[in-house]
Structure 1
């Protein structure tokens, strides 16, 4: 009988196979199969994501992955977006940049979120990573236009610069002039967070005009409406565009120029901006509405009649962000017009007002859940909710991966029955088997946490405020939600008992925030 011999694949074959594994989780799993796979995965890993910049040191990352091209770092927790993290908390990127400067001179992508980024950090980036192509600073702080000038002057291969929601100190509005005249590689530019003196419009015009591959341009609020047509005429190839201020005295020449400019943008699929929008100028975008897949009106104080008319022109929408001015009737139009909608975010126009200034209730969300069968992600601010509505929404949308309900009174009960909203949220976690993110709001007892622990097996992030009755609620979540990675708790009656009883679970989590 012939003896069987086991052969191992050559390293080159395994490296090629590993190149098709995109998920960090899957790559991590593959790396623990055996020592040879560990070494192969170690050397062929090109992207690294660090969800908590304090969970691992830069030295350990460099030793583990010596040949990466892209790194993504997250600093402060989610609550920093609501000014709930004290000054000086941390999240400094300079120690990371200092270590990577010597280890990864070939680095191509740096993506940072909620980190403190100084001008010194940016100057070191520009000096050390001459082949840098992507720099994303999302909700970062601590730097100025001087740091941006260093990036513009030093990163000659930069394709993407994204400053979304960052705080930038204005020391010179001429930082765009530091891009060399020979620089033409820009593909994506997001400067929507910058102030009035942070951008030289003439420099922006020149930059846009000499970058033929520019596909994404998000302007800051200070760019006036009458300048938009000129920019669009220089970049008709744009796929995503964010306007500046969308307010001006109605003038026929401005109107006709805008109509022509938008008509020439044959590839445009995403629009945002519209600060201080004047309804009279909204029809100029109608020519592109049928192609739009994303529309962000979260800064646009457009009232219901104009919003409703605009939404009805956008049958291909997959993503919609809007203020509550859309009201229930506008959401009903959205539900009947946009059958491909996958994500909806509705923000409050007057979150601190004691009396409602718009007619937005649970009815609008129920309508969208019924009319948009592809809906997967919801963020919804409103003043009232019922268990019956939540049960209906859960039954209509079993494919939810994200559901965040924010009631402006965080302790409010079912407005019909005056009962806690336990049953409604219980239906959400029971019917939506793929739910990854959940934010709870309203009057809630320990019962809803029992539902969550029982059904939400894929839940990765849970945000809770003013909910629960005892440590038992927290115990249900920590013991039952086996995929939980991030837990945010505010003003809940939870102590140390449940945490100590589930200490092993905490070792597998990325972050825990209790206040």
Structure 2
């Protein structure tokens, strides 16, 4: 057998082997291949095109080690944000001895910035990864315009640049525009130091190739920036904006100058109908429109979209209280290709608008109707989606006080392809509707029934029997759900990976033991405020579910926590550091620890 392997290995050229190794997606497979022989080790390194670096004790040093190992990298992500929420004081170093993967244990204000990527580290990225095409930097507070100038000069093949929450200044952005003339995607989300000066220079330099531009939470940008985008970025397809300083003039410039625009996300409180009329008239290829807190927009805006943007597939409306059913009617009539609709906190959109969407948009696959508690939605409005929208696979209803079992039964019978169902604080929903879902929606994978007081064991048993592909279940706050439902889940939903049973007073250690016995794929579990679950029950769960990585508990004391990577503990009272160490045992794999309302 070894001789056959040697002959095959000798016949395959390096170029072909490198191409084969590029199909190894997981680190485990790549590492296994690199251990076969020295030749494979070298070729696996040559095949590596993607590098991702999380928060570490010294990002600069880690970058240098990766540069020495991998020479063909085209995609680099450096995420310096410290994910641990634990700030250690008074002997906290002892806890780090128990949990070495948490990091250096310091808060941001306590020296954590010293570990983050610096300008010299970013310069090393440019020197070492000469084929770089995609660069993502998230919360890298030490990177200044000097680092960006360096990377811009050295990485002229760059096509995608993501600088979320970095301290980007105008000089750095100007350099990107000057040298990165192939840039297509740029995300500047939460880059709060930017002004119009930098963005104008960027647009002038590389605007010709730019296809996607993210300016969310760049609060200092004004119409001047958008006028530059409209003048120089004629190939732009995606734009996101969030600024109170943006008015009609800027958005009209974009609409006139960017006819290829397909995605537009706006959180601009001073934009008026005049600007959206321009979008409807000139952005005829628009497929996604999201409007957040655009308080000055009226139904005239949606009428313009319905009349001009015939290719619209995704519409999100959030806290736009001047929009009403009349505007949504226009979208329904004009945008028959609509596939996803989200309405969140729009107090004047209700029964009539939903009926129009259900009647006209037969391709709809996703509907989210959230926080409409001040409106009494007639059941037949949502029932229409069960009749006319046979492709519906995602439904999210939250705080819809008038919605009950009749709606769920109609949707379940008509939408048999439903994969995601989120019902949150809909108190008229009971077992009847959920039983219908279990009987009709066999492809259901995600189910949320948060605080739906009328649902109990009968509904969950039906789900367990009829939805074998269920992987995520949130039944938090179901006061009538007990161990019978848990037993049924363990028998029918063995693929369950994420379970939330918080605030379920009737679930006990017995029900949890069945989950531990049969749901061995479980990775996350939330069991806070469950008085029937004791320390023994939590320990049984952890012992039985070896893949569990995320656990939300209260004052329980499980003993087998070695493989946990995330732990959240609520309302732990009267514990000092020594008691805390005893409680945790040896958490050698822990990466994130949250202590909420825990008093020493």
| Match of residue 134 from structure 1 | 160
| Match of residue 354 from structure 2 | 308
| Match of residue 414 from structure 1 | 479
| Match of residue 406 from structure 2 | none
Secondary structure of the corresponding residue to residue 391 of structure 2: coil
Quickly say closer, same or farther: Cα 1:122–1:338, change in 2 above 3 A.
farther
**Does residue 11 in structure 1 map to residue 14 in structure 2?**
yes
**1:343, 1:230 → 2: CA distance?**
32
**Does residue 217 in structure 1 map to residue 217 in structure 2?**
no
1:393 to 463, 484, 490: 463
**2:490, 2:222 → 1: CA distance?**
46
Quickly say closer, same or farther: Cα 1:4–1:258, change in 2 above 3 A.
closer
Q: How far does residue 476 in structure 1 lie from its aligned partner after superposition?
A: 3.3
**Does residue 475 in structure 1 map to residue 475 in structure 2?**
no
User: Deviations for 1:4-63, whole angstroms, at most 9, x for unmatched residues?
Assistant: 784113332222222333445544444444443333222211123456656994445444
Contact 1:232 1:262 in 2 (8 A): yes
| Match of residue 289 from structure 2 | 241
**Does residue 104 in structure 1 map to residue 165 in structure 2?**
no
User: Deviations for 1:454-506, whole angstroms, at most 9, x for unmatched residues?
Assistant: 3333334444533474443443343333434x41425x123363326989996
Contact 2:187 2:215 in 1 (8 A): yes
| Match of residue 179 from structure 1 | 202
User: Deviations for 1:134-179, whole angstroms, at most 9, x for unmatched residues?
Assistant: 2346xx546467588458635433322346xx54536535654233
**Does residue 285 in structure 1 map to residue 325 in structure 2?**
no
Q: How far does residue 398 in structure 1 lie from its aligned partner after superposition?
A: 2.4
**Does residue 257 in structure 1 map to residue 304 in structure 2?**
yes
Contact 1:458 1:481 in 2 (8 A): yes
**1:76, 1:316 → 2: CA distance?**
42
Contact 1:292 1:316 in 2 (8 A): yes
Farther off after superposition, 360-369 or 444-453:
360-369
Contact 1:173 1:197 in 2 (8 A): yes
Farther off after superposition, 503-512 or 270-279:
503-512
Farther off after superposition, 102-111 or 293-302:
293-302
**2:486, 2:378 → 1: CA distance?**
21
Q: How far does residue 361 in structure 1 lie from its aligned partner after superposition?
A: 3.8
Contact 1:391 1:428 in 2 (8 A): yes
1:442 to 503, 507, 511: 503
**2:515, 2:187 → 1: CA distance?**
36
Contact 1:370 1:393 in 2 (8 A): yes
Farther off after superposition, 23-32 or 179-188:
23-32
| Match of residue 493 from structure 2 | 432
| Match of residue 353 from structure 1 | none
Contact 1:191 1:219 in 2 (8 A): no
Farther off after superposition, 367-376 or 172-181:
367-376
**Does residue 68 in structure 1 map to residue 73 in structure 2?**
yes
User: Deviations for 1:329-360, whole angstroms, at most 9, x for unmatched residues?
Assistant: 4665544544434444445599xxxxx99656
Mapping 1:62-211, distance limit 5 Å:
62-73=67-78, 75-77=81-83, 88=109, 94-95=117-118, 97=122, 100-111=125-136, 115-118=138-141, 120-121=143-144, 124-125=147-148, 127-128=150-151, 129-136=155-162, 141=165, 143=167, 146=170, 149=173, 153=177, 155-162=180-187, 167-169=190-192, 172=195, 175-181=198-204, 183-195=207-219, 200-206=225-231, 209-211=234-236
Contact 1:470 1:493 in 2 (8 A): no
Quickly say closer, same or farther: Cα 1:27–1:122, change in 2 above 3 A.
farther
| Match of residue 40 from structure 1 | 43
| Match of residue 376 from structure 1 | 445
**2:537, 2:171 → 1: CA distance?**
47
Which structure 1 segments of 5+ residues have no match? 351-355
Which structure 2 segments of 5+ residues have no match? 87-105, 238-259, 402-423, 565-583
Structure-1-length-normalised TM-score: 0.74
1:227 to 275, 297, 317: 275
2:550 to 477, 480, 487: 487
Contact 1:66 1:103 in 2 (8 A): yes
Q: Answer 1 or 2: higher relative contact order, Cα 8 Å, separation at least 6.
A: 2
Structure-2-length-normalised TM-score: 0.65
| Match of residue 519 from structure 2 | 456
The number of aligned residues is 483
Secondary structure of the corresponding residue to residue 180 of structure 1: helix
**Does residue 270 in structure 1 map to residue 273 in structure 2?**
no
**1:126, 1:321 → 2: CA distance?**
43
**2:347, 2:519 → 1: CA distance?**
37
User: Deviations for 1:87-130, whole angstroms, at most 9, x for unmatched residues?
Assistant: 65958753574653443243222346xx5343835762464144
Q: How far does residue 284 in structure 1 lie from its aligned partner after superposition?
A: 3.0
Secondary structure of the corresponding residue to residue 41 of structure 2: helix
Q: How far does residue 205 in structure 1 lie from its aligned partner after superposition?
A: 3.7
Contact 1:335 1:372 in 2 (8 A): no
